[in-house]
Structure formats: C-alpha cells, structure tokens
Amino acid sequence: MVVLAGNYSRGIHAADLYRRGYAPEVWISRPMPQADTELVRRLGIPYPREDDVTREVLAKRGVPREKIRIYGDGVNGTLEEARALQAALAKYPPGNAHPEALKILIVTSRPHARRSRRIFQRFFPQKNIRVSANAYEPFDRRWWTHKELALYAVLETAKVLYYLAGIRLITRP
C-alpha cells in the first residue's frame, strides 16, 4: 500500500485498510517540505517532516513500525512519488517473491484518485494498480460551498489538464 503525501488523515485510512488485511506493508514518501516549514526550522523551532507525522499516525493506528517503509527524498508531487517508488521497488521485494507479482494500493483523496491511478499505471504498467479514496478527507458534491474543497478542485483540475497536455510538474532538474 502506498500513502500519497498531502494529508495526514490518509495515514489513518491506510491503517484501517492495513488492519483489514488489504496490504502486508505501508509505503510513504518523503515529500519536499513547504517553504514556510523550512523558514520555521531555520529559526530553530522543531517542526516535524510530513513523513514522520504519517509514520506516527500509522503506528498509533496499529501498523507495526517494521511494516512501514519510507521511500524517496524530497519528492514533489504525484509524478515524483511514482518515479521514486519505481526506484525503491527496483530493489524489492526481499526474499523469493517475484517483483511482477506486486499489487499496488494507493491511498489518496477522492478528487485525486483518477489522476494518481493514471500516473502510477504509467510507471507500473505490469502491476495491478488500485486506488482507495481517503474516507477521512471531506468531500461534498457541492464543493464550491467549501473553501478548502474549492481550492482543491481548482488545483486538481489544473493538474489534470497539465497531465493530459503532457506537461510534467517537476521542480527539480
């Protein structure tokens, strides 16, 4: 199971799925910190990384720490998360399991589910890619009546259009 960055409640949803037996492990990316977070850290104020918080959420919700894997370093966006997972899985799974037998369950938000599935299918064409929409992230069909959902809808629409146009939002060379 792969928990995409962006919302801490995704870890809660992933832990629920883990406890119900949907995956033997939970993978979380190490995303690039936001600029304001780095400013706070430079002031000497402790501010946890997103992956550290998600790891703690998973552990508190019953996922054994040895079943939590971190991948990537400073990934920025779904495309980079998929690319980093591809690199991490090149050395995985341990033992005798065949890498082509892997199934990937992605945990993300409902509006992000379709685009994330397409991106991961591009990087893992031989894998069975499934997406589980986070039950803890709010969703309302009247999204325009909620500030957070309206911002998310506009941003996700732009990202889908960029993706379909072949423009990749990668910030690093």
State pLDDT tens for residues 18-56: 999 999 999 999 999 888 888 998 999 999 999 999 999
Within-domain flag for 153:
no
Residue 164 lies in a domain: no
The tally of domains found in the chain comes to 1
In a domain, 160, yes or no: no
Q: How many residues does the chain have?
A: 173
Question: How many Å apart are CA 121 and CA 141, to the nearest integer?
Answer: 27
Average pLDDT of the residues in 137-145: 68
Write the pLDDT tens digit of every residue in 95-135: 545 555 678 999 998 888 888 999 999 999 888 999 999 98
Domain that holds residue 55: 2-138
Q: Which pLDDT does position 66 carry in this prediction? A: 96
pLDDT, averaged across the chain: 84
pLDDT at 37: 86
Q: Is residue 55 part of a domain?
A: yes
Local confidence band at 1 (pLDDT 50, 70, 90 cut-offs):
very high
From residue 135, give the alpha-carbon distance in Å to each of 48, 74, 111.
24, 26, 12
